Each structure stands twice: as structure tokens, then as C-alpha cells.
Amino acid sequence: MRFLNTDFLRNQQIKLELERVAEGDLAKKWVPAYYFFICTPGGKRMGKCCLRVGNNENTYYGGHIGYEIDEPYRGNHYAAKACELLFSLAKRHEMSYVFITCNPDNIASRKTCEYLKGNLLEIAELPKNNDMRMSKGETEKCIFRFEL
């Protein structure tokens, strides 16, 4: 996969500053990914997000997009704004949909997915051999699908 220029990932409220990219790892079933800092237009870091490009079991359960907002900046829809920017990058990679997943008890993340008008496909039990289950003890994920 060819990584694209990401300088366009900005709006009036935030910009995504590329931290790094990661090639896929077939052995670990990881797809290529972009990692960003979520920043104010002036460059102050408020959180992180990522876009995983490609589809496999890991992107179904772990999502194509991940995000985390630092506590002082929560409640301002910065995660949703970052996702909207990442949707445009996913489209440039000819993706027609993305998954965003969260733990069922993560109310803030669920609200972000609902705010973005995601379709809740299911609350899925993680497979026994899933990395999130084995390393973090997580057992379920809300799976939201977003048509691009």
C-alpha cells in the first residue's frame, strides 16, 4: 500500500498531525496504519487517533479508526471531528466503509459513534484468540459501521 499525503486533514476546529505510519504485519494480521495527533489549529495536542487501511478480522473487532481525547479537551466532539477527517482519508484509499468499535461500557465512545450516525451492527463477543481479549481482558465490542 502507498501512504498518502495527509496535509489536508484539517478544519476550522482541529488538524491531524501525522505522528507516524506503520506497514502491515501479515504474521500479526495487522493492516497498514496512519497515526495522528489531534491538535488545535495552532498545534496544541489534544489527543490521538489512527486509521487502519484494509479489512480483516482484526479491523472488524478492533475497528479501522481509533481515538483518544485528553481529559481537559473532552466533551467538545473532537473525536467525532477527527473521525470525519479520517473518513475523507479512508475514501482516498477507496474504502467504502469503516468500522469503529468500543467497549459496551465506554459511553463517551458510543455517543461519538451515534453522533456520527454509525450503524450499530452488534455487540460482539471477542474471539478467544483475539489480542484485545488476551492482553487486556476485554470480552465484548460494540461494532459500528459507517458508509463512506
- pLDDT tens for 85-110 read 999 999 999 999 999 999 999 999 99
Whole-prediction pTM: 0.94
Round to whole Å and give the CA distance between 72 and 74.
6
Contact present, 86 and 49 (Cβ < 8 Å) = yes
Closest CA to 101 of 69, 70, 57, 137: 57
pLDDT at 146: 98
What separation in angstroms does the CA of 53 have from each of 78, 90, 128? 21, 7, 24
Q: pLDDT per residue over 116-147, tens digit each?
A: 999 999 999 989 888 887 888 889 999 999 99
C-alpha 126: how far from chain center: 18
Q: Sheet containing 45-52: give its strands across.
A: 15-22, 33-39, 45-52, 65-69
What kind and span of H or E run contains 131? helix 131-136
Q: Is residue 2 one of the residues assigned to a domain?
A: no
Q: Domain range for residue 36?
A: 15-147
Helix pair angle (78-92, 107-115), 10° resolution: 60
Domain CATH code at residue 101? 3.40.630.30
pLDDT at 37: 98
pLDDT at 62: 93
Q: Is residue 92 one of the residues assigned to a domain?
A: yes
**Overall number of domains in the chain:** 1
Contact present, 33 and 52 (Cβ < 8 Å) = yes
Coil, helix or strand at residue 35:
strand
Q: Is residue 10 one of the residues assigned to a domain?
A: no
Q: Is residue 119 one of the residues assigned to a domain?
A: yes
pLDDT band at 80 (very low <50, low <70, confident <90, very high): very high
